[in-house]
Amino acid sequence: MSSLYSLKNLAVFASTALVISLMLPLASWKAVAAPASAAIAGVAIHDDDGGGGEEEEDGNNSSNKEAAASTCSCVIFRLDDVQDEWLEPVQAAIIDKFIEKNAPLDLAVIMNSIGNDPAIVTKVRQALATGLIETALHGWNHVSYANLTLSEQHDTLKAANEKMQDLFGRKSAIFVPPYNEYNENTLKAMNQLGLKIISPEFDSEIESIYNPDEPDSPDNKVYKAIAGGSDTIIKDQFGVYHLPQVIGFYTYDSDPPTKTPLSKIESQIDSAIASYGYAVVTLHPQDFTVKDAGNNPTEELSGNEIKDLDTLITWITDSGYSIQTFSRASHVPLPPIIDNVPPDITAPPDKAIVSSSKLTKVDDLGSPTVSDNADPSPSVKNDATTRHGKGAGSFFVFEQGTTKVTWTATDKAGNTSNATQYVTVASTNDTVAPIGTIDAPTNGTIIKGSLSSPPPSTNTTTTGTAGAYIQVRGTAFDYESGVKVVEVRTNDTEYEIANQVTPGSWSNWTATLLVTHSGDTEVEARVTDFFGNQKWETNVVKVSLDSKQ
């Protein structure tokens, strides 16, 4: 049975099935939210007909009923609702525990809620690189797919898998439906997209797949990983394997949730493996936190809960069972790695050096920060050609003035990206702030916009969003080390780099800012020189948004 658990004004759902799902109830606790191999652009590492693109529905395939080659006798752990900015240290600790125990794990990721938190993205990439971890789709948003049309399910799952490949170098063949809810249209959409495995819970399987009143019925289509017998069901009429969860580390049929005794989890594992050859168990990140007086999860990791997870994993292996991923338990090949995304690289901090020498020695430029969706260690180089010597004793030589150093990261697929570092050498220390102005809009200017239809914009980052667009222009000068950058923002947006009117010069600059609410709004420009001195200028405008505009 399933239940809704309310926290932070959000409904939390969790299942009581046996796929150990490390599930972070997205729509509840927060507005939610594969073995790595060499990345070769456009080259399939594994041959597979799933997850690589649109496919025709195969309907009632004669191969849907097969005998399993061997009994898996395994447990599958599922970590649901992996997402940005939610209990990052706890999510990381759970993943680390599985890696420490050399135990596989499936990460069910809410794809519209990941990609902006470096801590989570990096942790998932590191986990995939171990070869123990694989990813599963947990929807685009954490909504019930049983309430979506076929078209909506198809389009959101397609978008989710495309983002999965962009972020992690490989699509997934696995769908873990939010709230464990789905319908026949879900299976049709999965068939069209090449998704091969679905993991709801037993009680939420649709009637044509599983009858809970007759769990041993030969008409049930739940996957069995048991050797022998031609009656072993491998996949349904849409070519989809059903591996439902059977129990959770915590039980969410009560409010507040209650911890499931390890003895009960162990008993359910024994029972499920006896019937199906495998057991899927659900864990939630908040299960492993210290709770406050209201039994709400805090950011603090619970040592006792992690210890119990360790105990459970040890019991599984000591009992003669193995721990597997969905793909290994069902013998469904992983989609290929197709790495067409360049690495992310951030250059080392700029250097400002006071020296009167014509040529100045610099021992170390620092190290860039580099990550990649598929390659754990991209190659890195820079174009600072005035390097002398090799190894630990080498050094760089720079002339007076500012030198632009370009750092380049290249992954194994040949994708490259660049980042810039500036090295400035001056005979005297620049302690004088640069000069900056905001020439337009002036203080008190009324900016009109629309709440209903997006106005045109020259800024591609804001195109298509209703609101008021503020066209900003100004000047910037520095008579010492020079202007490095001009950044502009409103009082409730992040800084963005302005545009130079004349390439290579900040003497005149422009920017376009979006404001989505009415009222007084501060427009702020920040000018930075090559020695790190900064100057701020602020004008206040009045924004008026009209639904009829």
Strand partners, 469: 514
Looking at residue 75, what is its pLDDT? 98
CATH architecture of 344-426: Sandwich (2.60)
pLDDT digits (tens, 9 = 90+) for 503-542: 999 999 999 999 988 999 999 999 999 999 999 999 999 9
Strand partners, 23: none
pLDDT at 67 over 70: no
CA distance to 29, 425, 449, 493, 494, per residue, from 543 (Å):
35, 44, 8, 15, 18
* pLDDT band (50, 70, 90) for residue 63: very low
Q: Say how far apart CA 106 and CA 21 lie, in whole Å.
A: 8
Q: Say how far apart CA 231 and CA 11 lie, in whole Å.
A: 40
List Cβ neighbours of 408 (8 Å cut-off, separation of 6 or more).
345, 380, 381, 382, 383, 416, 417, 418
Q: Where in the chain is the domain with CATH 3.20.20.370?
A: 3-330
Phi/psi of residue 486, nearest 5 degrees: -120, 130
Q: Where in the chain is the domain with CATH 2.60.40.650?
A: 435-546
Q: Say how far apart CA 292 and CA 300 lie, in whole Å.
A: 10
List Cβ neighbours of 374 (8 Å cut-off, separation of 6 or more).
36, 39, 168, 169, 170, 337, 339, 341, 411, 412, 413
Tokens of 195: 């998704």
CATH superfamily, with its number, for domain 3-330: Glycoside hydrolase/deacetylase (3.20.20.370)
pLDDT digits (tens, 9 = 90+) for 481-509: 999 999 999 988 899 999 999 999 999 99
Strands 483-490 and 499-502: unpaired
| Neighbour tally for 475: CB within 10 Å | 19
* pLDDT band (50, 70, 90) for residue 189: very high
* Nearest CA-CA partner of 24 in 75, 95, 98: 95
In 311-415, DSSP assigns E strands to 322-324, 344-346, 351-354, 359-362, 369-371, 379-382, 387-388, 395-399, 401-410
Looking at residue 36, what is its pLDDT? 36
Q: Say how far apart CA 435 and CA 391 lie, in whole Å.
A: 42
pLDDT at 388 over 80: no
Question: With pLDDT > 90 as the criterion, what percentage of the chain qualifies?
Answer: 69
Long-range contacts: 117-123, Cβ < 8 Å, 24+? 117/84, 117/85, 117/88, 118/371, 119/88, 119/92, 120/82, 120/83, 120/84, 120/85, 120/88, 120/91, 121/84, 121/167, 121/371, 122/371, 123/88, 123/91, 123/92, 123/95
Looking at residue 389, what is its pLDDT? 56
Q: Say how far apart CA 312 and CA 2 lie, in whole Å.
A: 23
Looking at residue 172, what is its pLDDT? 97
pLDDT at 397 over 70: yes
* Nearest CA-CA partner of 353 in 313, 400, 310: 400
Q: Amino acid identity of 205?
A: E
Per CATH, domain 435-546 is 2.60.40.650:
yes
- DSSP for 297-325, written as a single string: EEEEE-HHHHHHHHHHHHHHHHTT-EEE-
